Structure 1
């Protein structure tokens, strides 16, 4: 009946932890059966999960891999290998249009060439729009949805080479709403940042710590409120990425209470790291430069944890964007010939695709000491991203008919190291090409023991680690996105019923 059976596991879905003792049968690349143990299995291979939790393969819906503006970042081989080793079986990365390009196909063709045949995990692309011409909006985006299966775009409200005006944001959202695309937003007020940076420079404050001063929470708060208003006007579902500021998250929560389709994402570094890391000596703080920046207080981190727990955040992604630290084109680009620091020149971003799941899983469980439940863990890391990005028909859940993307963790009480039930994260154990991890020295109580991608064992912690091959990962043509939070068709605040019909259209 089956090619493989996983037995004695405790299967976790986005809704519940299923009773112990069920079999999960795999046929071909799909989950074919979940139920009572199958008798008479003959020569069918069996993986004994030994009472451990079994979760869907992780979907990391926000990773930057081999983008041209990050010359020391991971190539596809290393990033995808790192993903698999951390329990992530699908990544969604970015094809970035340049401001000078009048088409999206140039960057997409180049990005396909980089990824094809070089990925250990399955993958898809988002489109970064830097020059949304009429041709791009009316001709190319519909073709991407129908022919390429690319159903998400990312828009920026900051960075000179990427930011769009409010008018451009509105034009794009009026198109993406009709195409059923997920519209991702990097929400920071560019002019506020520019003003503070200019004055910091005038005062000679260029060390890495002042990166966090240059992008205060007000920057994120204002942009978040503004993009929610633009989205409400156009009736467009949006996802605000890598959120870090408490008031900005409150704007999201309030909009969700009004049933607006506003989704939100946060990342590990906004749950576990503070801005004091940016003050590490010997230019070590450059390792922690990212935007939005790390926040100052433990209360800032606690606010993100509250939004994780109460359902405000829809997804939990790594925003994996690694640049080597000890490299003149990496983080040390922020040092001039005399060793003087300029945080403006430090590439933004942190590595994290491999550590994302273990860090959050460490906080998941049933008792009050855990910050979130195991089903909530699955929602954030797999099921919700699958729904939001048009993959729910094949990814994101332990359900018959879906791809057999599976993570088997260690059972409680198992020694992860020679002498301990905890594992200490070190950069030397990770599979990315970056020369550091921001989570060096963190301890976790579990790590993926085995990982299956479409029914094939691709990671075995006890048998040498990586078992898969560099060309096994497939490009995923995705369907239209599903709304996870809220609904469309609402009357914007202060407007009369039918008022938007005069200009918005269907």
Structure 2
């Protein structure tokens, strides 16, 4: 059925204006004033912003880690994402050394099939580089539309790849048109510091942060940037948490290196002191990179404002406090790394960013949707509001006040990292390809209604790879 959104304020990365939006066959058919509503369902957006659906470039749903599996899968995780105004997620497909990459991709398809309520895609982890991997990559990019590869520089003896693997991945990405992503921490130094802390019986959650100091993130970020420049390739640094890493990205960009940076809500509003909460409560805030001293928040906010960091992901990786995080009692290194973030990503950025004047309304849309779409081959079908784009739309109330709590969130996990935080602004209704997933703050979507999206190569449009997209 046709739908017309009326009386709302449309906001894109570049424009803010009053207009009606006509939706037909899952796409935006017309934008204008006083559009006819014959044979169409009218959606009144008076007093609301109309945003393009959020795109979360960094999720870990149904992911094994530390002897357990993340609590939110592709069903609960995407439902929570939709409540938060996200209409597309890009999840990380983990791989196993010695096995064909296509086997791991099949595992992730099986995890997500008939579960996701919004659209989704995959990044592919590269843990080793050899002739077999190099032969597979072009086929995977073409057949699966996976055009971004993740390399871990941390988690020694688990995920960590060496510098040769990173460098050769960068070379392959340059050749085939992919974007390389890095988890930038010096895993060798972290491994040493962790062993020393445990020898000294320093086992509380705070030592997770103290054994992963900002210097190891800054060093790894700078090293990855240098290798990117040497390879004349392109790099995306995930979950930037501190001034050291943000500065390395800015320095590299000033030299003309093609590098991009992502931060996350947790690093913008939480700080290292949360890991010192008594009664093991600090374990709720154990993720990597760890939370930093509070002064880093101003640096990150300024980097978003000036464009030195360009996107915000959730790094959604939820584990119950009771039964999962508690696996690390007496040994911080055994606490599963990650937190429940996916639902509150947009609200926190709007409330703490737009409402407090740290970023503009148009920057908010760019950071949460448009830039991600451009970087990861989803633009312009997703990431903006324009004729012909997918009708992924968020109707957002900019004035409603609420308190974030595990009692009211929609994630499957038993705590909320932002418990008690008061925010202004939240999604009211969310449409995916023209169909309501959330309507008046209630879920009415279809389990399995989300589609797997094949993405274009780096710097290309989703419709055709013959036209470059300015990013």
Task: State the TM-score bracket (shorter-chain normalisation).
Answer: over 0.9
1:55 aligns to what SS in structure 2? strand
Matching residue of 1:42: 38
Matching residue of 1:419: none
Pairing 1:131–2:125 present: no
User: Residues of 2 paired with 1:481 and 1:37: CA distance?
Assistant: 38
User: Residues of 2 paired with 1:146 and 1:42: CA distance?
Assistant: 42
Give the greater-gyration-radius structure (CA): 1
Contact 1:261–1:483 (CA<8 Å) still a contact in 2? no
Pairing 1:248–2:248 present: no
User: Residues of 2 paired with 1:316 and 1:483: CA distance?
Assistant: 21
Pairing 1:334–2:328 present: yes
Contact 1:63–1:320 (CA<8 Å) still a contact in 2? yes
Pairing 1:119–2:112 present: no
Contact 2:63–2:70 (CA<8 Å) still a contact in 1? no
Matching residue of 2:314: 318
User: Residues of 2 paired with 1:307 and 1:120: CA distance?
Assistant: 33
CA RMSD in angstroms comes to 1.5
Contact 1:102–1:133 (CA<8 Å) still a contact in 2? no
Matching residue of 2:78: 80
Matching residue of 2:349: 360
Matching residue of 1:495: none
How many equivalent pairs are there? 458
Matching residue of 1:93: 91
User: Residues of 1 paired with 2:72 and 2:147: CA distance?
Assistant: 24
Contact 2:2–2:39 (CA<8 Å) still a contact in 1? no
Pairing 1:388–2:375 present: yes
Q: Find 2:412's aligned residue among 422, 433, 436.
A: 433
Matching residue of 2:466: none
Contact 1:363–1:372 (CA<8 Å) still a contact in 2? no
How far apart are residue 316 of structure 1 and its match? 0.4
Q: Find 2:191's aligned residue among 191, 194, 214.
A: 194
Per-residue deviation, residues 372-395 of structure 1 (Å, max 9, x unmatched): 111101111100111111100310
How far apart are residue 305 of structure 1 and its match? 0.8
Contact 2:28–2:386 (CA<8 Å) still a contact in 1? yes
Matching residue of 2:337: 348
How far apart are residue 28 of structure 1 and its match? 0.7
Matching residue of 1:308: 304
Pairing 1:141–2:137 present: yes
How far apart are residue 258 of structure 1 and its match? 2.4
Contact 1:157–1:164 (CA<8 Å) still a contact in 2? yes
Q: Find 1:475's aligned residue among 452, 458, 461.
A: 452
Contact 2:398–2:424 (CA<8 Å) still a contact in 1? no
User: Residues of 1 paired with 2:180 and 2:190: CA distance?
Assistant: 23
Contact 1:87–1:451 (CA<8 Å) still a contact in 2? yes
User: Residues of 2 paired with 1:25 and 1:251: CA distance?
Assistant: 45
Per-residue deviation, residues 102-138 of structure 1 (Å, max 9, x unmatched): 311121111101101101110000101112221111x
1:447 aligns to what SS in structure 2? strand
User: Residues of 2 paired with 1:364 and 1:467: CA distance?
Assistant: 30
Aligned pairs (5 A) from 1:48-87: 48-69=44-65, 70-87=68-85
Contact 1:60–1:317 (CA<8 Å) still a contact in 2? yes
Pairing 1:397–2:397 present: no
Runs (5+) with no aligned partner, structure 2:
462-471
Evaluate the alpha carbon distance shift between residue 114 and residue 202 of structure 1 in structure 2; reply closer, same or farther with a 3 A threshold.
same
User: Residues of 1 paired with 2:320 and 2:398: CA distance?
Assistant: 35
Contact 2:261–2:308 (CA<8 Å) still a contact in 1? yes
User: Residues of 2 paired with 1:459 and 1:107: CA distance?
Assistant: 32
Pairing 1:221–2:200 present: no
1:382 aligns to what SS in structure 2? helix
Matching residue of 2:393: 406
Evaluate the alpha carbon distance shift between residue 477 and residue 74 of structure 1 in structure 2; reply closer, same or farther with a 3 A threshold.
same
Per-residue deviation, residues 247-282 of structure 1 (Å, max 9, x unmatched): 221111122122221000000110011111111111
Q: Find 1:270's aligned residue among 254, 257, 267.
A: 267
User: Residues of 1 paired with 2:316 and 2:143: CA distance?
Assistant: 28
1:448 aligns to what SS in structure 2? strand
Contact 2:23–2:391 (CA<8 Å) still a contact in 1? yes
Pairing 1:182–2:179 present: yes
User: Residues of 1 paired with 2:458 and 2:27: CA distance?
Assistant: 22
Runs (5+) with no aligned partner, structure 1:
336-340, 417-421, 485-506
Aligned pairs (5 A) from 1:21-32: 22-32=19-29
How far apart are residue 363 of structure 1 and its match? 3.0
Pairing 1:109–2:106 present: yes
User: Residues of 1 paired with 2:38 and 2:186: CA distance?
Assistant: 63
Per-residue deviation, residues 410-435 of structure 1 (Å, max 9, x unmatched): 254xxx4xxxxx10011121111111
Pairing 1:16–2:5 present: no
Matching residue of 1:378: 365
